Amino acid sequence: MSVAAEEAAENAAEDAAENAAEDLDFTRAMARVPGPVVVTTTVDDSGRRWGFTASSFVSLSLDPPLVTVSLDKKASTHPAFAVAGHFMVNVLAHDQSEIARRFATSGVDRFAAGDTEPLERGLPGIPRAVVRLACRMHEVVDGGDHSMLVGRVLDCVTSHEREALVYVDRGFVRPAAPEAARAR
């Protein structure tokens, strides 16, 4: 091996080690950022229900009303969502962490517990969720190892009876509601 080739290989190894450290730092940093816990669901043309727990969900636009949910490209649900015409975002309540865990687990029937039913637009939804957003697929955007499902919100259902479930530091928490929210 030439000196230049050895040097290139050495540089590549250093870059890989540096990227691994940066990836770990990024993962740790993002774990510190609280976010809502959402289960995203759809039904395919054959009537099969699909769903997953998303750790990345945000409002994208008010006009038109758009939201994004990120889905790992390696997930078993990815092919179904990549071609879905509609999907539902279910923002889970503080007492629904078991639903979040089930929809995050591979190789199980995520719908077996019977806590979903056809709701807005006939999409499988979680009736006791804090928020349900029925969406038409607006676009699927490449986001590295994930796809961003961009949905145009068609229907919104909101409950003020319970607090949302939050995920932070690799665990589920129930946020303390501000005084103004408790007074509603």
Q: What is the pLDDT along the chain (184 residues), one digit of tens a residue?
A: 666 656 655 655 555 545 555 677 777 776 666 688 999 999 999 999 999 999 799 999 999 999 999 999 999 999 999 999 999 999 999 999 999 999 999 999 999 999 999 999 999 999 999 999 999 999 999 999 999 999 999 999 999 888 998 877 766 767 776 655 555 5
Sign, Cα dihedral of 96, 102, 105, 110 = negative
pTM, rounded to two decimals: 0.80
Give the torsion through C-alpha atoms of 18, 20, 22, 27, to 10 deg. Answer: -170
Query: Could you tell me which residues are beta bridge partners of residue 124?
Result: 118
Whether 67 and 136 have beta carbons less than 8 Å apart is answered as: no
| Omega before residue 64 within 30° of 0, cis | yes
The residues near 89 (Cβ < 8 Å, ≥ 6 apart) are 38, 40, 54, 57, 67, 69, 131, 132, 133, 135, 151
